[in-house]
Structure 1
């Protein structure tokens, strides 16, 4: 089979060693065989979930109603019911991806992510407490617990890694915080290694959110008559993050951990569904394809790429131009760290709102 004949989505991993994960989960996609089809035909290698995805799944179908009513007989707390539902789905998905996880390079992929409550985003102690609880209840080697990369989340990430919990760090928008997250991961590995514990089976990704960056920065560029730079900030930030990744996961400090079997914390491109119709709908996949990274995309974006995407090695191209563009933004008065702070606050709110809506929906289904 030639490269042209190979499924376009599958080309990304087969030819360029980037893993494509699906940013979606519900019971229908698993029961219908659609998720297995995505694994077999598109080479999908993992799944991410978040409160908004579960809210959509539970609130827009009757698939969960019987379980909600059954669980409510023993405990009617909507949050407790939600996590029972979510854990069941995550376990089922993790089992579907077990063959991917158990491939020749064991643990390279096949992960399914479950997020701690977004209401805990700024609470370090309760975040780590819930991460431990979810890790234990899901009871699958190929699960990742999502912890937000807030300042409060950093020590929780370090603790979770030191305890052998796989972590998907979410809500990253800026380079400064990304570097802090990468170092929290390394700190956690060092803590674990110094305790005489195995670090070879721990995996982590750092989820760098993209489309929301352009959504915020583009109007600022219009205000400054810099329209020619629109749509470039997120890709530039991602390329700069990749350059940071290469630097952080090399050198003497990292080499010591690598000798003990540690795997780098891969960068994961998130929020890759294009939110601006003026841009190509596959751009956040096409422009960031590179080895040992992950792109988690919604189903519509995967379908679009299968139809008309172009797979090629793009991530390590144009790094100097990307850094120059970020410098140009700074010179024009656009502070990307301030942008990242604003997006983090908005991101927490964007997850809190559907989570509250989800809990309300469960409560309504119990009492209707």
Structure 2
């Protein structure tokens, strides 16, 4: 039997995580099959994923009925539902985690807290304790308010997945927050050899925003190139930061590099290949988190090969050219961050409403 093309990516040092979670995935055995057949090595979730899972099936109704008797607050009900799924998924990935480096499952703090440092820290610690699994990661957005929360929670010994990361400048700040958190912990005499973190760089949304501007400015040849150029540059930053003397001092105490994770890798533009953001960014010590349809596409017609450091000069020229024609990536990043928070807040609100409707439906059926 031929090895899955998805599984072959491990030969190039890349881990594939699934950007999807619902209860059926776990109880049907599909997640275990992905791990065994495709070499899947982790999983991420977000409010939009949970909204589809909970509102789109009856799989959660029985637990909602039980929780509704104990909690008035729909947010509390949601996080109990989510924690159950995260715990079960983490248990499925237990053998992967035991082998080292991977096997992590991510749960996001409320998108409503994106600009609230203290409440983000509080909820991160609460969720970490509630899930109670070594291979969970708590997702914190890379907002200005999120950066000190990242440092603090790393200092508290949590595994953190930094999300909604769109710009190279902000990525530099994220690596500093991670290293600072580790340094804080070492200074407090606490161990750091168990702490894992990833920096999730969102890609396709960059091209969705930039490509129409490139068309308007008369540079259609650059369409679909900017996100990949940013990712390649981010990887060079990763290599520099995690080979620095600053990191080497932490490495003596067992510190792990904060790997870059390519997120938002499903192709949004139908004129692009459906494996575009997988093929171009295969490289060592990286993660690509992909939705099920992209995983299926790559299994079918992927072309595994290390390409992340190919054409670095061309990628650099793309970013220089972008600046010359008046496109500011820092401004693009700020806009995408704002839109990203809104895109998670909307399904989060819909999710809480769906729980309210299910509670009402359950109560009506019982009367």
Quote the Cα distance in structure 1 between the aligned partners of 2:345 and 2:122. 19
Q: Does 1:189 align with 2:186?
A: no
User: Structure 1 regions of 5+ residues with no counterpart?
Assistant: none
User: Structure 2 regions of 5+ residues with no counterpart?
Assistant: 362-367
- 2:335 aligned partner: 342
Question: What is the Cα deviation at residue 312 of structure 1?
Answer: 0.3
- Partner SS for 1:205: strand
- Partner SS for 1:244: helix
- 1:122 aligned partner: 115
User: Equivalent of 2:5, from 5, 8, 12?
Assistant: 8
Quote the Cα distance in structure 2 between the aligned partners of 1:337 and 1:247. 21
Question: What is the Cα deviation at residue 320 of structure 1?
Answer: 1.8
Q: Does 1:229 align with 2:226?
A: no
- Partner SS for 2:214: helix
- 1:23-102 aligned at under 5 Å gives the runs 23-102=19-98
- 1:1-368 aligned at under 5 Å gives the runs 5-13=2-10, 15-103=11-99, 106=100, 108-368=101-361
Could you tell which deviates more after superposition, 162-171 or 251-260?
251-260
Quote the Cα distance in structure 1 between the aligned partners of 2:178 and 2:312. 25
Question: What is the Cα deviation at residue 69 of structure 1?
Answer: 1.2
Question: What is the Cα deviation at residue 76 of structure 1?
Answer: 2.1
TM-score, normalisation: structure 2: 0.98
Quote the Cα distance in structure 2 between the aligned partners of 1:251 and 1:123. 31
Could you tell which deviates more after superposition, 292-301 or 67-76?
67-76
Quote the Cα distance in structure 2 between the aligned partners of 1:335 and 1:77. 42
TM-score, normalisation: structure 1: 0.97
Quote the Cα distance in structure 2 between the aligned partners of 1:252 and 1:17. 24
Quote the Cα distance in structure 2 between the aligned partners of 1:99 and 1:74. 34
Quote the Cα distance in structure 2 between the aligned partners of 1:144 and 1:319. 31
Q: How large is the RMSD of aligned CA atoms in angstroms?
A: 0.7
